[in-house]
Amino acid sequence: MKLTKLRKRKKYIVHYSVSSQVTGAGQGIGRELAIGYASLGATVVCWDINKEINEQTVDEIKKISESSVYGYRCDVSDKDEVFKTAEKVRKEVGDVTILVNNAGIAPIQTFENYNTDEISKVINVNFMAHYWASIMFI
Ligand SMILES: NC(=O)c1ccc[n+]([C@@H]2O[C@H](COP(=O)([O-])OP(=O)(O)OC[C@H]3O[C@@H](n4cnc5c(N)ncnc54)[C@H](O)[C@@H]3O)[C@@H](O)[C@H]2O)c1
């Protein structure tokens, strides 16, 4: 067991051998989680569709912690890309013990104004992507 919950103190301890992977690490909740895991000593793998902001998160982690950190550009809604990138991670980083399926989109508009491509995109990013990444790391 890599993540230990101390019931009385309600605190999680992340051991040094943990590799956590966060999708959508470029900004928002994903970025904060990636930085949080790194500050607890975990090796962190950052994935985002946006290479530039993902690299900013990687650089920030390098500045504030001694944890190993890796960045990969990946569109989590693209099954083949997820499989390829996950293989790369396995070779270059090793096993991932915590997977955070965080990447998501929320285009806000009224239902009748969605086009079919947008509906597919929402389902692929917010739903199917969880399966593609989970299959590869479980
Ligand atoms: N912020 C909220 O109030 C809130 C509420 C409910 C649910 N959520 C969910 O929590 C998650 C994070 O929210 P947030 O506010 O930090 O979002 P955000 O929009 O700030 O960040 C999402 C990140 O995911 C990345 N991303 C988008 N599509 C991607 C794809 N196809 N492949 C890889 N990366 C992709 C973006 O580039 C971005 O860095 C999302 O799934 C969101 O739907 C957020």
pLDDT for 14 equals: 44
For ligand 1, atom 32, the nearest C-alpha belongs to 75
Domains parsed from the chain with CATH numbers: 19-137 (3.40.50.720)
Strand ranges, E, within 3-118: 3-6, 11-14, 19-23, 43-48, 69-73, 98-100
The predicted-structure confidence for 19-71, as pLDDT tens digits, reads as follows 889 999 999 999 999 999 999 999 999 999 999 999 999 999 999 998 899 99
pTM for the structure as a whole: 0.89
pLDDT for 91 equals: 95
Q: Which long-range contacts (CB under 8 A, 24 or more apart) does 31-36 make?
A: 31/57, 31/60, 33/100, 33/102, 34/61, 34/69, 35/60, 35/61, 35/64, 35/65
pLDDT for 58 equals: 97
pLDDT for 135 equals: 93
Assign 111 a pLDDT band (cuts: 50, 70, 90). confident
pLDDT for 109 equals: 85
59 neighbors 36 (Cβ within 8 angstroms): no
Assign 108 a pLDDT band (cuts: 50, 70, 90). confident
Closest atom of ligand 1 relative to the 78 alpha carbon: 31
pLDDT for 99 equals: 95
18 neighbors 98 (Cβ within 8 angstroms): yes
For ligand 1, atom 18, the nearest C-alpha belongs to 28
Q: How far is the CA of 8 from the centre of ligand 1 (A)?
A: 33
For the chain, what percent of residues have pLDDT higher than 70? 87
Q: Is the pLDDT confidence value at 8 over 80?
A: no
